[in-house]
A = this chain, B = another copy of it.
Amino acid sequence: MSTYELYYWPTIPGRGEPVRLTFAMAEVAYRDMAREAEDGYALLLSFNAGEHPEGHPFAPPYLVIEEDGERTLHWQSAHLCDLVAARHGLYAEADRSRAASLGLTLADLMDEAHDTHHPLATGLYYEDQKDAAQVRAKHFREERIPKFLGFFESQLDDTGHLVGGRPSPVDAVLWHVREGLRHAFPKAMASFAGRWPKLDAMTIADHPPLRAYLDSEGRIPFNEDGIFRRYPELDGAVE
Contacts and interface: CB of A to CB of B under 8 A. Distances in A.
Interface of A: 50, 56-59, 72-76, 78-79, 82-83, 97-98, 100-101, 104-105, 108, 111, 115, 119-121, 123-124, 129, 132, 135-136, 139-140, 143, 148, 151, 154-155
B100 A120 contact: no
B79 A104 contact: yes
Given A76-B100, A76-B104, A121-B136, 17 more contacts: A56-B151, A57-B101, A58-B148, A58-B151, A72-B98, A73-B98, A74-B97, A75-B101, A76-B101, A76-B105, A115-B115, A119-B120, A121-B143, A123-B139, A123-B143, A124-B139, A129-B135
A136 B124 CA distance: 10
Q: Which of A79, A82, A119 has the most CB of B within 10 A?
A: A79
B83 A97 contact: yes
A74 B102 CA distance: 9
Contacts of A154: 50, 56
Contact of A101 (B79, B97, B98, B132): B79
Contacts of A132: 119-120, 132, 135
Contacts of A82: 100
Contact of A79 (B74, B97, B115, B120): B97
Contacts of A83: 97
Nearest to A123: B143
A100 B119 contact: no
B105 A121 contact: no
Contacts of A72: 97-98
Contacts of A100: 76, 79, 82
Given A56-B151, A79-B100, A100-B79, A135 B120 contact: yes
Contact of A120 (B59, B76, B78, B136): B136
Contacts of A119: 119-120, 132, 136
Contacts of A135: 120-121, 129, 132
